[in-house]
Amino acid sequence: MASTIKHPVVAIADDDLSFANYLKTFLASRGYDSRIYGHGEELLAAARHGDVPDVVLLDVMMPGMDGLATLKNLKAAHPVVQVIMLSGRENAPTIVEAINLGAVNYVVKPDDPQGLGEIALEAAIKQAVENTKLVSEVAELRRQVSDDQTAAFFFWEKSDTMRNIATMIERVADSDVTVLLRGESGVGKELVARAIHERSVRRAKPFVKVNCAALPDDLLESELFGHEKGAFTGAATTRVGKFEYADSGTLMLDEIGEMKAGLQGKLLHVLQDNDFTKLGSNKRVSVDVRIIAATNRDLESMMRRSEFREDLYYRLRVIEIVVPPLRERKDEILRLAEFFIGKYSSKYNRAHPGLSPVLRDALQGYTWPGNIRELENVMKRFAILQDEPALVAELRATTNRQAPEPTAPAPAAASAERAPEEVAAANGNGHQLPAAPLTPQSLADAARQAVLQAERDLIIPTLRKVQWNRRKAAPLLGISYKTLLNKIKEYGIVQD
C-alpha cells in the first residue's frame, strides 16, 4: 500500500550519489520526504518489503539493472506507483519506451542543478503526486462500490458541474413523479436514471430499460405492453410486456423522441390511468410503475412539427434534468479516465498505465463528442494496447480537425491592416507568425483569433524571461513541454 499523500514520499534511484543528495535536499525544501537507492535492485528489494513510495525519480543509466528494466519490474509489482525517469540527455526512443512501460514523465537532468531545470523537475513531481492522489481516490472508490452507477454518483459529488444534478437526484428519488432526462448521447442519462431508482423506495423492485429507437412501432408496442397468443402473425405464445415486468419498479423509456405518434397516445393513457390492454386482449392490466424518460432530441421543435404530442411532453416533463456533455465537465475527465483504466486493466490482466502530463493534456483538450461512452472505449483500448504515443496523436489529430479553421486574408488586405513593423512586433523578432483571420465570420472565429493572439503574446515574453529555456517556460505557462514545442512550431516562433 502506498503511503498517504499528506507528506509524499519520493524515492531517488541514482548511482550518482552527489546528484542524489542534491535531489534529497531539493525535495526536503519542497516538503517531501525522500529515500535514496544506489541502484534499481535496491529499490525493488525495498518495494518487495512493503516500502513503496508515492513517486520514484529513476535514473535511466545505472550499473547492473538499468532504469528501464527497473521501471518494468517496479510497474509489474506495483502498477499504480508514479515513476519519473531522469536522464543526462533527451533520447526520443528511450522516452517512448519509458512512457510505454508506464513512466508518467521524463526529465533531463539539469547541467546546473542549482539553476535551470528545478522548475521542470518540481512541476513533474507535483504532477506525479496529483496522479497518486487521483489513483488512490479512484482505487478506494472501486473498493467501496460494486457497480459503475454508484461510482458515477461519487464522481458527480466531486464535480462542480454535476453536483446540482446529484442534489436533484436525491430530492426527487423518494417521490413517484415522472422525470425527463435530456442530454447528448453518451452523457450518462442511464446512470442518472439508475441512481434515481437506487435511491427510491422502489430500489428492491426491477429497473427496466426500453430503447424506443431499437424496434419498429408494432414490435415496440408488444415490447412495452405484451401480447396474447395469436394477436398477430408470429405471436405463438402470450408475452408479458415491460410495463408488467417493471410493476412496482421503474421503467426507463430511452430515446423517447423516436416513438411514433400512435404509440405516444397509448403511452399517455397508461401514464394517466395506470392500466393498459395487451395486443389481442380486451382485459385491462393495472400496473404501478415509475416512468423515467430520456432523449437527446429537441422535443419542443418536434412538437411544433406535430411529431411529438404536447400532452405527453408535459406529462413526462414533471421534473426535467439536463445532463451536460463531458466537454463541460472537465473536472470529471481524469477521474473517469483513471476509473476506466483501472477497471479494464484489471479485467484484461494488463499493467496499470499511468496518466502522463502529455496524456492528461490530450484528454482534457479533446472535446469528447461521444461523451462518457467514447471516453470509456478509448480508455479500454489504452488499457489493452498500452500505446500512449498513438493515443495522444489520435486525440490531438481529432482535436485539430474539430477546431474551426481560420479564414486566411488576401495578401493585399493583410498588408492594409498590418504594417510590416506590426507584423514583426507580433513575435518580437521580425518573423511573421501564421496569420489569424482579420475579419471573423462568426463569434467562434473571433474567440479563436483572440485565443491564438493571447497565447502568442504570453509565450514569447515568458521564453525571453527564461532565456528561451523551453523546459523552464512550460511549467510557468501551465502546459507540458511537448505542448509548448507544438505551439512554438504552430506559431512560427523563432528565438531572437
Report residue 373 as a C-alpha cell.
Answer: 461512452
Tens digits of residue pLDDT in 127-147: 888 888 887 777 776 666 655
Q: Among 2.40.30.200, 3.40.50.300, 1.10.10.10, 3.40.1190.20, name the CATH number for the domain at 163-322.
A: 3.40.50.300
User: How far does Cα 439 stand from its chain's mean position?
Assistant: 35
Q: What share of the chain is helix, strand, coil (3-state, %, to 5)?
A: 50, 10, 35
What are 28's three cell numbers?
526536503
CATH no., domain 326-402:
1.10.8.60
pLDDT, tens digit, 9 for 90 and up, residues 270-286 = 999 988 887 777 788 89
Question: In 183-318, at which residue ranges do the beta strands (DSSP E only) sit?
Answer: 207-211, 250-254, 275-277, 284-286, 290-295
| Sequence ranges of the domains in the chain | 9-144, 163-322, 326-402, 412-491
**pLDDT for the residue numbered 413:** 34
CATH class of 9-144: alpha beta
**Alpha carbon of residue 264 to chain centroid:** 36
pLDDT tens for residues 349-393? 887 787 888 888 899 999 999 999 999 999 999 999 888 888 988
Q: What are the tens digits of pLDDT across the range 164-208?
A: 898 999 999 999 999 999 999 999 999 999 999 999 999 999 999
Report the alpha-carbon distance of residue 130 to residue 350 in Å, rounded. Answer: 23
Mean pLDDT (whole number) for 51-79: 90
- In CATH terms, are 9-144 and 326-402 the same topology? no
Report d(CA 478, CA 175) in Å as an integer.
Answer: 46
Q: 382-406 in b/e burial notation, b at 16+ Cβ within 10 A?
A: bbeebbbeebbeebbeeeeeeeeeb
Model confidence, pTM = 0.66
- Residue-wise pLDDT for 222-240, tens only, equals 889 887 775 666 666 777 8
